[in-house]
Structure 1
Amino acid sequence: MPKTDYDEFAEAYSADNEVNLLNGHYERPAMVSLAGEVSGRRVLDVGCGSGPLMAALRDKGAIVSGFDLSASMLELAHRRLGEDADLTVADLAKPLPYDDAAFDDVVGSLVLHYLKDWTEPLAELRRVLKPGGRLILSLNHPFVYTALNPDGEYFDIAEFSFDAEHAGRTVVYTIWHRPLQAMSDAFTAAGFRISVISEPPISVDTPPELRPPNMLHPARFISFVFFVLEAC
């Protein structure tokens, strides 16, 4: 599982996640939009962190469950969602503590790219989904690897690290790059059909001071890529 240990900076990450450009005004609004109408649907949040996506989907009527490797993150999620929230410490790299076909949808925000091998994790996510259920994912855009590593080879599957700042604290993230075709092949091999690939704009309510000054397009930049997959 990830070398990035969220227990070490859970409070700082959670506070920044609420309001920053990448999470608060780009990734999370895009995930909520892709999920669409979820009222009455059972939704599992993979790597749920402190629960902001779970809260947004619950507000839209979803019946939400979530798991994360970080116990500190789940403490924050309980504060947000209530002590009776269905939250579990679990590892995506290991068998998941859920029944077969337990969920209508699974959402995974910026989590799968922490793993080198997607075979078993995707098999587990397919197992817990009902036939025809959706797996909605956000991942580091493969373009980012070559942008940050000019000597890197796009078609490799390669581990790399980068720094990010959360509430004044610098954190080193270590994730795995894979090209778009490797992503597609892994999804297909696990029994999913790609229904949507999205490179969305930032949220329309993004404050002017958060918009990158060098954006070539007034609402778009490349950071993440989003998928909606259907369980075959």
Structure 2
Amino acid sequence: MRRVDYDTEQHQHYARGRALTEQQMATWMSAFTAALPERRPLVGLDVGSGTGRFTPALAGAFGPVTGVEPSVRMRELAQAQSRHPGVRYLAGSAEDLPVPSGSADYALMFCVWHHVQDKPRAVRELARVLRPAGRLLLRGNFSDHHPEPWWLDHFPRGLDADIAQFQPLHEVVAMFTAAGWRVTGFGTVTQPSDGTRADMLERLRLRALSFFAQLDPDEVEAGLRSIEEAVAANPDAPSPPLSEPLLTLERR
């Protein structure tokens, strides 16, 4: 997997390219609510918070949240648009979380796990910062549980290149359980449609997915041209919803 440098490659367009509709956000927040304890407030960590896509919503639903983000530019954008008094953003990573031990009730990692360079260290660090029975919400793709969006077929190496970024589910689970965690839930969340296929094409043009960094520039251009031709034939066709995996783990 080629490492993505968000400070130079994606920070400018990430918020627009990865924005969620109100319905999509509501769907994810409902899934997180079902996976977390009912008591409020909960102290949260948004690990790999990026431009703050989820951080304010987490604070509004559950209680104060610290967004932890290694990319300076992504963190600056999140801070510039931060309005919620229960949100703060700090420099850090899953391997080096800038919060005291036992200070959080849960952590969210949304499409972040495949970017983590030292995964065993991150497993230990997440256990350090969570209280006993704290929960980790891990929304990550797995090589054997991988949603296949319609547009991926337009890149000849697309599926293989995308899957290569991810571990199989059993490897991730084994890594955590060997360190004393337990699985409390695994399933899929059906994220509502992104709109029309033309809407999705506009997002793809921003290249805000780490997938694009795994292909050669010529492959990316050829794939986008293929999508443009397909969309031109029926631009108002809906972009189908995706069923996306959510793994919930508990610190013992």
* Farther-moved stretch of structure 1 (112-121 vs 56-65): 112-121
Number of matched pairs: 201
State yes or no: 1:186 paired with 2:170. no
Say yes or no: does 1:231 pair with 2:245.
Answer: no
Structure 2 partner of 1:35: 32
Give the drift of 1:10.
Answer: 0.9
Classify 1:12/1:99 alpha carbon distance in 2 versus 1 (closer, same or farther; 3 Å): same
In 2, Cα distance between equivalents of 1:123 and 1:2: 24
* Other structure's SS at 1:181 match: helix
Q: 2:23 matched to 1:3?
A: no
Question: Is the 2:48–2:69 contact (alpha carbons within 8 Å) kept by the matching residues of 1?
Answer: yes
* Corresponding position of 2:131: 130
Could you tell me how far 1:96 is from its partner in structure 2?
2.1
| Structural RMSD (CA) | 3.4
Give the CA deviation at 1:146.
11
Give the superposition deviation at 1:117. Answer: 4.2
Q: Gapped runs of 5+ residues in structure 1?
A: 153-159, 163-173
Question: How far apart, in 1, do the equivalents of 2:147 and 2:132 lie?
Answer: 36
Residue identity matched to 2:30: S
Q: 1:31 to 1:38 in 2, by over 3 A?
A: farther
- The residue identity in structure 2 corresponding to 1:227 is L
Give, in angstroms, the shift of residue 49 of structure 1: 0.6
SS where residue 183 of structure 1 aligns?
helix
Structure 2 contact 144–169 (Cα < 8 Å) conserved? no
Q: Which has the larger radius of gyration?
A: 2
Q: How far is 1:62 from its partner?
A: 1.4
Q: How does 1:30-109 map to 2 (within 5 A)?
A: 30-36=27-33, 39-82=40-83, 85-93=87-95, 95-109=96-110
Q: Residues 5-29 of structure 1: CA distance to partner in whole angstroms, max 9, x if unpaired?
A: 1112212011122247xxx765x55
Supply the distance in 1 between the matched residues of 2:135 and 2:63 (Cα, whole angstroms): 14
Q: Residue type of the partner of 2:169?
A: L
Q: Residues 61, 183 of structure 1: CA spacing in aligned structure 2 closer, same or farther, 3 A cutoff?
A: closer
Contact 1:98 1:128 in 2 (8 A): yes
Structure with greater strand share of residues = 1
8 Å CA contact 1:110, 1:139 repeated in 2: yes
Could you tell me how far 1:91 is from its partner in structure 2? 2.6
Distance change >3 Å, CA 86–CA 19, structure 1 → 2: closer
1:106 touches 1:135 (CA, 8 Å); kept in 2?
Answer: yes
Structure 2 counterpart of 1:189, which letter?
A
Summarize the Cα distance change of 1:25–1:113 in structure 2 as closer, same or farther, 3 Å threshold: farther
Q: Distance in 1 between matches of 2:39 and 2:51?
A: 20
Alpha-carbon distance change, 146 to 15 in structure 1, aligned in 2, over 3 angstroms: closer
The SS at the match of 2:93 is coil
Structure with the larger helix share? 2
Unpaired runs of 5+ residues, structure 2, are: 201-236
The one-letter amino acid paired with 2:14 is Y
Contact 2:114 2:140 in 1 (8 A): yes
User: Do the aligned residues in 2 keep the contact of 1:49 with 1:74 (CA within 8 Å)?
Assistant: yes
Question: Aligned partners of 1:106, 1:46: CA distance in 2, in Å?
Answer: 7
**In the TM superposition, what whole-angstrom CA distance separates every residue of 1:34-74 from its partner, at most 9, and x where no partner exists?**
32157411000000011121111112141110111111111
Are 1:209 and 2:229 counterparts?
Answer: no
TM-score, with normalisation over the residues of structure 1? 0.72
